Structure 1
Amino acid sequence: MIQCTLALWIAVLLASFAHAATTALSIMAGNELFHRPDPHSLAFVRGIVEVAEGPLSDQWIVLLVDSSIEQVFPVLPLLRELHHGDNVHPLVLSYPVVQNSRQEQLPLLSICSGRCAVLLLTGALPEWLQEAGDAWAPVTILVVNVNTSWDAAALMEWQQIQKSTSLALMQSVSHNESLPPRVFTSIPFSKTCKGKRRFRTSMGPWNKIRFALRGDLFPDRFQTFDGEVLQVANEMDDFPLVYGDVKAGQGTSVKILECLGSWLNFTFTLQLRAKDKKWGKFVNGTWTGLLGEVHRREKNLTINYFTVVEERLKNFDSTAPYFYEGFGFALRVPPPLPAWISLTYPFQPLVWASVLGALLVVIPALYFVNRFAPAPQISFQDAAVIVCRSLLRQSGKQHLVTDGATRVLAAAWWAGALVLALSYTCNLIAVLTVPVFPPLISTIQALANSGYRVAMVDYGEFVPEALVTSQDPYLKALGERMDLVPCDEHGYGKLVQLALEGRHAIIDTYSYLRNLVSKDKRARQETYVMTEQVYSGTLAFFLPKHTPWTSKLDQGIRSLVEAGLVNKWYRDIMDQKDNSPSLSTRTKTSNTPLSLPNLQGPFLILGFGLLLGLVVFVAEVGTRIRAFVHSLL
C-alpha cells in the first residue's frame, strides 16, 4: 500500500513538473509573466519562500497559480527561489481560464488534500474554485493575494475556502512598498459587535521569526465556538440516545453534546423529527430524512442512531465513535408446557431410562437369586412388588427375603432406591410450583429455522434491504419473511402487538427495543429480547462533508469515551428506564398454596389408575363368570 502511494506521488510530481516546465517555456516565449519585479512582488516572493522554508517545511507544497495574477506578479522568480539550493520543491499547478483544462486538473486536487499544504496565489476571485466541489478538500491552505488593489475579504467567506481546517491569508493592506504583507486567519464563529462573523482576523505583518512554527501561522480556528447555536437534525424517539421533550432533551447523545458545548462554548437546538419523517437513506441520488437535512447543510449535525458505513462516509464527515451496538429481536415467550408433564421434569430422559433399565435388571436378578436359595419364598410377582415398592417408599413383605444372597441384593437396591426417591421428591416440589417453558429461541439460526416472520417499522433504516440481499442464508431467510409497519404515530404500537400475537419477531436497535417492550405492561411480561444482535457497528455523529471543526468534536468525544462517561450515562439511563424483568423473574411465584393446575399430574395418574383398575376388575369378573358357567356345564 505504501509503495503504491509513493509511486502515485512520484507520478503526480513528474506530471506537475512537466506542466510547470511547459508553462515556464510558454511564459518566457510569450513574455506574459516575465517582467521586472516591483518591491511589493519581491516582498511576496520573499514571504512565500520563508513560509515554505519555515512553518511548512515538513509538508508538501501545492502551489496553485490563478490566471488573474499574470500581469501583476512575477511567477518565474518565485519558482526560481522555491527551487533554489536545498529549498523545498513544490508541486506546481496552474489554473488557466479554459474550462477543459480545469476539468483535467481537478482530480489532482483530491490527491493534494491529505498531507499537502496548498498555497493559492490569486489576484481576484478564482471562479474555477466554485466548480471544484468535493474534489477540493485541502486540510491546510494559505491564500496569497498579490493584487494590492483587490481585497480578498470576500474570498475568505467562500465555503470552498472555509472547509479547510487550517486557513490563513497573506496580502498587503497598504501601497507602502516598505511594509511587508499582512497575515490573517479566519474565525467564523467569532462575531464583531455588529454581529458580523470574523471571516478575516489580522495576526500582524509577516515576520519569519514570529510565524516560525506551523501553529503560529495556522492557529486553532475553533478553540472556542463563541456561543454559536448549532442546529441538530434529530428524531426525539430514539431511546436511549435522544428522547424526551424538544426543549429539554435527554439521552446519551444529548449528554455528549452538552459536555462538548460546555467545553467549546456552544449551545444547540433539537427538533421533533425530520420534515419528511424519514430516518435517512440514499434514494434516487438524494439523501432523505435526517441525513438529507445535514447533507443539504440545513442542519449542522445529526446525533441519532447512525452507524459508520461506507456509503455515509463518502457523503458525510463522521466523528470519533462513541458507542457500539446492533439490531436486536424481540419475541413472545412461548407458553409453559402442560402442568401434567411436570411429573417427568425432576429427572432428565437419560435418568428415567437408567431407572427403567435398573428395574428390568433388578427384578429378574432378585427372583433368580432367590430361586437358587435353599428355600425359595418369593415369586416373580413378589420380586417386582418388592423392587417397585421401595421406589415408592412403601413397606411390605420384606420378611420374605431371608437368605443371604437375596438380602445383599435387596439391600443394595433399597439404598439406591432411597436416593432416587428423595431426589425425585425434592425436585418435584420445585417443579410443581414453577411453570416450565420450552427452550427459547436465542440465535439467528434458530430464528431463521423457526416459523416466525420478522416485522420492523419502516423509518428508512438499511436493515430490510440488507437482510434481503445478505449472503448469509439465515439472514436472507429472515429478510424474505420481513413485514414492514408504516412509520406513523401508531407504528410502534402495531409492532408490539405483532410480537404479542406470537407470529412475528420484531426488530429494532437493541437498546430501543428493550425500552419498547418494557413500556408495555403485557409485553414486559410476555416477551423477551434475544441476546444475539445483527449489523452491530460503531455509532458516530454525522456532519456535512468537509466540516472544518469535525476534529474538535473528535477530540472531545474520545476524551469522554476514554474516561468511561459515555458507558456510565448509558447504564444509568438503561437502569432507570428498563423495567423489563428477566426470564428468571418471570418464572418466580409467590409463597401460595398449591392449586389444582399445579397437581394435574397426580390426579391424572390417579384417574388413569382407577380406569386401569376398572378394566382389570371387569376382566377378572368376566373370567370368573366364564369359569362358573363352565363348571355348571
Structure 2
Amino acid sequence: VPWFLVNGEFEVMRWWALLLCCGAAWLTAWKANAQELSPNIDGKLNVTQERELEEVLMHLTRLYMDGCSVNIFYDSDQSLALVSQYVQQISQSENITFTLTIFKITEAILMDRNTWPEAQCDINVFLLHDGELLFDHASVNHFLASLHDNHPHALWNFNAKNILVALTSKVSEFNAGKLFAFRKSLNFLQVEFTEKDVLFNTNYPYQNIDKQLLASYRLHKMNSTINLFPQKFKTFNGSTIKVSTFEHPPSVLYIYDADHNVIKRDGVDMILIAALESALNFTAEYIEVNKGELWGHEMPNGTWDGLMGMLIYEKADVGACNVFIEQDRYDFIDFTAPFNFERGCFGTPSPKLLPRWTSPVMPFTSVTWASFAVAYLVGTALLYAVYRASYRKESIEYNSLSFDFLYVLGFMTMRSPYTTPSYPPLQIYLGFLWMFATLITIAYSANLVAYLSIVQKSPPIDTMKQLRESSLRLAGPAFWKTQFVASIDEDARSFENRLEPRYDLENVFKEVEAGEFAIIENKQFLELYVAGRYTYGDTATIRIVKQCLLPYSIGVGLQKFSPLQESFSKVVLSIVEFGLTQRWKTEVISEFRLRYLEEIALKTGKEAAVGDPLSIDHLLGVFMMYILGLILAALIFAGEILVQRMSK
C-alpha cells in the first residue's frame, strides 16, 4: 500500500485501494475453491471429491457388499491409488467380510472368461477415468459373437450389481446406460460427482431411459433408506415389449375378420401375455413368425430362423407359442418359470374299416383257423381209421372217406347225424368229437354275430415300434429331429432320418387322415385338432399313439440374459398357482370346435349309425362263401361228367 495512503492523505483513495485489495483476495480464493471442486482435465479428483468417493464406496460396502464376491476394475494409475485407499479403509472394518478381486482394465482381462464368474452375490465396481476400453467391450453382444464356438460366453455378469463410478466429466457425459451390457444388467448404478453433490443414476432400458437420477447426496449426508438398486422391471409404465408368435392352437388361436385380418389373439399363451401386460403395465407389440419357420431350427450355416431366431438376434423381446423348455434351446435363449407341461406324441390314421366280405373269417385268427382245419382233417382220417380197425363192423357208409368228410362237417355245423355208431369204439370217439365241434361252433357263432353287426377295423398303432414297422411317412417341425437324436429309445432314434420337416401342418393333417403320413407334434395340439376338426360324431379319423416322448415343460421364451426373467416368472407362477391355464385351455378348445362346427356336422351326417339293420353289405362274406361253394360244386360236377365220358 503506498505510503501516502497510510499517512491519511488522500483518504478516499485509500479506502478504494483497500476495497480493491480485498476484492482481489476474494477472487483468488474463489478461483482456488472452484478449481478444487471440479475434476482436472487429466481426470484427477480434487481432495473434496476423493473424500466423497471414499464415503460413497464405504456406504455401498456397508449396504450391499457384505458376504459377496466383489470385483473392482480400474483403468488408470490415479484410480489405482483410490483403490488402494479403499482397501486400506475396509481393512480396518471388523463387521464387513467379502471376497475382493482387483483388475486393471485391459482388452485381455475383459475378454477372459475367468474375469466373469458367477456366484450367489456378485458386485462389479468400475472406477473409470477414460472408460473407452470398457465401453467398447460393453457395447458388444459377446454371446452372439461367440455363438458358433463350442462354448459361447457373454463375457459379462448380467446378474451382478454393476456399479460404474465416473471419475471424470468425460465418463459422466458418456451415455453408458444405453450400452448392451448395462441394458441387460439386472442392477446398474452410475455414480457421478458435481461441484456440490454425488449423483446416483440408473437406466430403464424398456422405457428408453438411459439415465435417471435415483438420489443425490452431499458429503457426510449419505441416506441408507433409499434403495440404490430398485426393482426396475416391476412395472414398465406403458412401455412397448415386442412379442414374437404365430398361430398354433390351443396355445395361440387367431380370430379373423372377413378380410382374414387378425382382430383378436386368443389361446393359452396369448391370454398369459395379456395377464402379464396387465400385471406389469406394458403394451405388447406382436411380431409374426413366417409360416414356414414356426419355432425355427439351426440351419447348416449355424444361424437360426423362426421364433428362436427372433429372440437370438434380438428382433423380439419375448417369444410365446407353446415353447418347450429344453437344453438345445436353453443354450441360446432363456425362459420364464414353466406354466404348463406337454409331451411330444404321434398322430396316425385311425384304423381303417375292413372289407365286409371278410366278416365270416374274422371271428378266428389265422392260427385258430389253421388249427381248426388240421383238427377237421385229422378227425375225418381218424373216423375212417377207427372204422377200418374195428372188429365189429359199423355201417358200411363209414368206409367212404367222402362220407366221413361230410359226417364230421355235420358235427362242426351242429347238425344231428342220421347214422349213429352201434359199438363202443366209434361211439366214444364220435362223442368227444361232437363235444369239441359243439364248443368250437358256439364260439364261432357268438363272435360272428358281433362281426356281422359291428364295423370291423384294422389293428391300431399304439407304440413307436408299431409306427416304426409301418409304411407311414413321418412329418413335423424340424425341432423333433434333435429330440430323436438325443433319445435313449431305439425306436425314437429311428425316426431321425425318417422325419420330413414340414411346417404346413394343416396340409399334413389332411395327409394323415388320408392314410399317407403320421405327424409328430405336442399332445395338446393333436388332441385339439383331432377333437375339433377330425372327429365326426363319435368317430375320429386321426388317432393319437398311446406311447409318447418324455414330457416337456412349457414357458415363455426370452432373449438370453434377459432382465425380464425375474418379473415375468413371478407373475407366471402366481397364475399357475390359481390353476388358470387349465381353465383357459378348456375355453380355447370349445372356441376352436365351434369354428369348424358346420364342417364337422356335414361330415358327421355321412357316418353310418351303429344300430342300422343288417344290409347285403354286412352279409357280403356269407354270400361270397355260397357263390364259392357253387363254383366249386360245378367244377367237380363237370369233372365227373368229363371222367365218365372219357371212360366210355
- Structure 1: how far apart are the matches of 2:500 and 2:434? 61
Hey, what's the Cα distance between the residues in 2 that align with 1:207 and 1:352?
102
Q: What does residue 270 of structure 1 align with?
A: 286
Conserved 8 A contact 1:61-1:116: yes
Distance 1:358 1:330 in 2: 43
Q: Please tell me whether residue 119 in structure 1 is matched to residue 125 in structure 2.
A: yes
Question: What is the CA deviation profile of residues 560-584 of structure 1, one whole-angstrom value per residue up to 9, with x for unaligned ones?
Answer: 3455433443355346546899xxx
CA contact (8 A) 2:68 2:98 kept: no
Q: Does 1:599 align with 2:609?
A: no
Q: What residue number does 1:229 align with? A: 240
Which has the larger Rg? 2
Partners of 1:416 and 1:531 lie apart in 2 by 39
Gaps of 5+ in 2: 1-41, 141-153, 256-261
Pair 564,350 (structure 1): closer, same or farther in 2 beyond 3 Å:
farther
Residue 85 of structure 2 is matched in structure 1 by 77
Give the direction of change, closer, same or farther, for the CA distance of 1:198–1:373 in structure 2 (3 Å limit).
Answer: farther
Are positions 1:240 and 2:256 aligned together?
Answer: no
Matched ranges for 1:11-90 at <5 A: 38-67=47-76, 70=79, 74-84=82-92, 86=94, 87-88=96-97, 90=99
* Distance change (3 Å), C-alpha of 1:618 and 1:143: closer
C-alpha separation between the residues in 2 aligned to 1:565 and 1:586?
A: 38
1:200 aligns with 2:213: yes
The answer to whether the aligner puts 1:260 opposite 2:271 as a matched pair is no
Deviation at residue 122 of structure 1 after TM alignment:
3.4
Partner of 2:307: helix, strand, or coil?
helix
Q: 1:383 to 1:88 in 2, by over 3 A?
A: same
1:299 counterpart SS class: coil
What code does the residue aligned with 2:182 have?
A: I
In structure 2, give the amino acid aligned to 1:201: L
Check the 8 A contact 1:326/1:533 in 2, yes or no.
yes
Q: Cα distance, 1:115 vs. partner?
A: 3.5
The answer as to 2:399 corresponding to 1:376 is: no
**Partners in 2 of 1:437 and 1:156 — Cα distance?**
68
CA spacing shift, 1:608–1:312, aligned 2, 3 Å:
closer
Of 100, 112, 116, the match for 1:110? 116
2:559 corresponding residue in structure 1? 544
Query: Counterpart of 1:337 in structure 2: which amino acid?
Result: L
Q: Equivalent residue of 2:354, what SS?
A: coil
Cα gap change, 1:531 to 1:208, in 2 (>3 Å):
farther
Deviation of 1:78 (Å): 0.6
CA distance in 2, matches of 1:208, 1:276: 61
Describe the SS at the equivalent of 2:88: helix
Question: Quick one: distance in 2 between partners of 1:419 and 1:264?
Answer: 75
What is the rounded CA distance, in whole Å, between the counterparts of 1:415 and 1:207 in structure 2?
Answer: 111
Deviation, 1:93, is: 3.3
- Alignment of 1:162 onto 2:175: no
Change (3 A) 1:541 1:515: same
| Aligned positions of 1:388-537 closer than 5 A | 388-397=409-418, 400-403=420-423, 410-456=430-476, 461-463=478-480, 478=495, 480=497, 483=500, 491-492=504-505, 494-496=507-509, 498-499=511-512, 502-513=515-526, 515=528, 526-533=541-548, 537=552
The Cα offsets for residues 487-541 of structure 1, whole Å up to 9 and x where unpaired, read as 6xxx456544544554444445554455556676699964444344568644332
Distance 1:208 1:344 in 2: 99
Does residue 340 (structure 1) correspond to residue 361 (structure 2)? The answer is no
**1:140 corresponds to which residue?**
160
Q: 2:486, 2:53 → 1: CA distance?
A: 59
Per-residue Cα deviation, 1:74-119 (whole angstroms, up to 9, x for no partner): 33211212334644354333444xx645555x43443257641222
Q: Distance in 2 between matches of 1:615 and 1:282?
A: 69
Question: Could you tell me the TM-score, scaled by structure 1's length?
Answer: 0.74
Whether the 8 Å contact between 2:45 and 2:167 is mirrored in structure 1 is no
Give the C-alpha shift of residue 603 in structure 1: 1.4
Give deviations 1:140-199, integer Å, cap 9, x for gaps. 3252536486757943444422322233444556626xxxx56555555679xxxx6874
- Shift in Å, 1:232: 0.9
- SS, match of residue 558 in structure 2: strand
Residue pairs, 1:242-391, within 5 angstroms: 242-245=252-255, 246-274=262-290, 279-283=295-299, 284=301, 286-310=303-327, 312-325=329-342, 327-333=344-350, 335-360=352-377, 362-363=379-380, 372=390, 376-377=394-395, 379=398, 385-391=406-412
SS in 1 for 2:353: coil
Query: In the alignment, which residue of structure 1 is the partner of 2:149?
Result: none
8 A Cα contact 1:238 1:512, kept in partner = yes
Amino acid at match of 2:634: L
Q: 1:514 to 1:349 in 2, by over 3 A?
A: same
Cα distance in 1 for partners of 2:230, 2:172 equals: 22
1:570 corresponds to: 585
Instruction: Indicate the SS of the match to 1:607.
Output: helix
Q: Deviations over 1:270-329 (max 9, x none)?
A: 244359966534454544343333334332211124434445434332222334445544
Structure 1 pair 553–336 and aligned structure 2 pair: CA distance change class (3 A): same
CA contact (8 A) 1:249 1:270 kept: no
Unaligned runs of 5+ in 1: 1-32
The residue type equivalent to 2:557 in the other structure is F
Q: Shift of residue 591 of structure 1?
A: 1.9
Q: TM-score, normalised by structure 2?
A: 0.72
- The answer on whether the counterparts of 1:345 and 1:431 sit within 8 Å (CA) in structure 2 is yes
CA distance in 2, matches of 1:272, 1:530: 31
With over 3 angstroms needed to count, the CA separation of the structure-2 counterparts of 1:411 and 1:512, relative to structure 1, is same
Distance 1:498 1:310 in 2: 32
Going from structure 1 to structure 2, the CA distance change for 1:413 and 1:162 (only over 3 Å counts) comes to: same
8 A Cα contact 1:44 1:146, kept in partner: no
Decide which moves more: 555-564 or 55-64.
555-564
SS in 2 for 1:130: helix
Contact 1:231 1:300 in 2 (8 A): yes
Q: Kindly provide the amino acid, as one letter, of the partner of residue 610 in structure 1.
A: L
Question: What is the SS of the residue equivalent to 2:324?
Answer: coil
Structure 1 pair 49–469 and aligned structure 2 pair: CA distance change class (3 A): closer
Q: Is the 8 A contact 1:170 1:183 kept in 2?
A: yes
Question: What is the CA–CA distance in structure 2 between the aligned matches of 1:411 and 1:239, rounded to whole Å?
Answer: 66
Secondary structure of the 1:540 match is: strand
Residue in 2 that maps onto 1:93 = 102
Q: Cα deviations across residues 226-256 of structure 1 (Å, max 9, x unaligned)?
A: 3333221122x22222220444201121122
Corresponding letter in the other structure for 1:598: H
Task: State the superposition RMSD in angstroms.
Answer: 4.6
